[in-house]
Amino acid sequence: MPELRRQTALAHRTRGASIRAGDTTLREPIGLRAILVTSRTQICLPGAIHLGPGEWLMVGDDEEARAALAAAAGTALLQDMSAGLAVIEAEGPDVLDAIGLSSLTAGIGGALTTRLADLRVTVEYRRGGRHWARFIVDRFSADYLWAWLVARLDAARVDRQPPEAG
């Protein structure tokens, strides 16, 4: 009987490595922590993504994130979600336009939760000197989202190329 092995669409991908897709660089950073913060009272969490009433998601492991979490520890429930969530970062011009999110986003930066590739994805974005987006998804769906992002970004690049003169 032949051996059956489950392979993800991106079994060849090395975590932490980056690839080019269209005009965008995609990477899955290693070592970022994702902390879900819940509180019945209003708290101030600089840099956190507001998910809904009483819920914030803090992604990162820098000094600012640690200080904000330490301040919230007395009034909020902190849950480490790092094992269950994956983060994919994209950097390049028109990242949000290429995947069809430009109409949902406004201003220099922000965050939203939406559906991409039929997956629930939280998107944090920054515009300005450095166009950047961070996609936060359930870890078991990360390979699928990665492949979808690569395909969409590559297709957007082809669509933007001028037609050849013949």
Domain boundaries, the chain: 33-81, 83-160
Q: Whole-structure pTM over 0.95, yes or no?
A: no
pLDDT in tens, 108-150: 678 889 999 999 999 998 877 778 889 999 999 999 999 999 9
Give the architecture (CATH level 2) of 83-160: 2-Layer Sandwich (3.30)
Q: 97-103: long-range contacts at Cβ-Cβ below 8 A with a sequence spacing of 24 or more?
A: 97/156, 98/22, 98/23, 98/24, 98/152, 98/153, 98/156, 98/157, 99/149, 99/152, 99/153, 99/156, 100/152, 101/125
CA dist 52 and 91 (Å) reads: 26
The parts of the chain modelled with pLDDT lower than 50 are 1-13
